[in-house]
Amino acid sequence: AQRRYAELLRQGSELEYNQLESDIRRRDKIDSERTDSPLRPAEDAIRIKTDNLSVAEILKQILSLVSDQ
């Protein structure tokens, strides 16, 4: 939501952050509960918790996973 909000601000949008976040959560809920092709990770997906990590730290984790393969 933060990335999208910053993008919309640059484009001149006056949308409030809380509304944008609510819209994204609602859309994701609808997408994950639909009958055909619900939005969800693949069974063999590797999830990386990126909260509070820099891009460099995330990249390091990804490269570590790839080199372990």
CA 23 – CA 9 distance, rounded (Å): 16
69 pLDDT band, cuts 50/70/90, is low
CA 65 – CA 30 distance, rounded (Å): 31
Q: What local confidence, expressed as pLDDT, does residue 67 receive?
A: 85
Q: What local confidence, expressed as pLDDT, does residue 56 receive?
A: 95
What mean pLDDT comes out for the span 39-64? 92
Asked if 20 and 28 count as a contact pair (C-beta separation under 8 A), the reply is no
What's the pLDDT tens digit per position in 2-33?
999 999 999 999 889 999 999 999 999 999 99
